[in-house]
Amino acid sequence: MRVLGIDCGSERTGYGVIESDGRAHSILAAGTIRTNPAHTFGARLAVIARGLRDVITANGPEEAAVEEVFHAANAKSALKLAHVRGVALLALAENEIPYAEYSPLTVKQSVVGHGRAEKEQVQFMVRMLLGDRVPVKEPDACDALAVAVCHAARRSWTVKVVAS
């Protein structure tokens, strides 16, 4: 199963594509879609949409996973994140890719074994599971890979089929 993991952000949206049988995983692609904070928010959303469409075209994921919106202290930041998630879900729907959504707590539990893991622990475990090609210097890409691994391990009961 080829899985696309997405870690949404308005300045940096991470993506990671893995091949998995549910137990063994290998990395196919990972990176970060960067936007320019000086541009309008609409223009930044367009850059993210194009970037995700390119990743989908290049890698042909069969399923996807997106991190849920966490409760941010800043409502404006949470709203921007929700807009980026909407763009990600639209890109998946346009390509008829079934998806699931996971909380940060669930991703950490799946990858590290406990939901209160630190970012460095998640990065370490993602690297242990996927090998040296994990871009640990790109935390958003690493987080997206963690979301993909979480989905691969839990996929049998969480997939939302996209209606055509």
**pLDDT tens, position by position, 56-94:** 999 999 999 999 876 666 888 888 999 999 999 999 999
pLDDT band at 96 (very low <50, low <70, confident <90, very high): very high
CATH of the domain at 113: 3.30.420.10
Determine, yes or no, domain membership for 147. yes
Hey, what amino acid is at 107?
V
Confirm whether 162 is domain-assigned. Answer: no
pLDDT tier at 11, thresholds 50, 70, 90: very high
Q: pLDDT band at 125, cuts 50/70/90?
A: very high
Q: What are phi and psi of 119, to 5 degrees?
A: -55, -40
Is residue 68 included in any domain, yes or no?
A: yes
State the pLDDT at residue 75. Answer: 83
Mean pLDDT of the chain: 90
**Coil, helix or strand for 115?**
coil
Q: Which domain holds residue 85?
A: 2-157
Structural contact between residues 146 and 111, judged by C-beta atoms closer than 8 angstroms: yes
Residue 163 lies in a domain: no
The pTM for the full model equals 0.91
Number of domains in the chain: 1
Residues with a catalytic annotation lie at 7, 67, 140
Q: What percent of the chain has pLDDT over 70?
A: 92
Answer whether residue 19 shows pLDDT above 90.
yes
Lowest mean pLDDT among 4-8, 20-24, 58-62, 125-129: 20-24
Question: Is a pLDDT exceeding 70 seen at residue 162?
Answer: no
Q: Would you say residue 42 lies in a domain?
A: yes
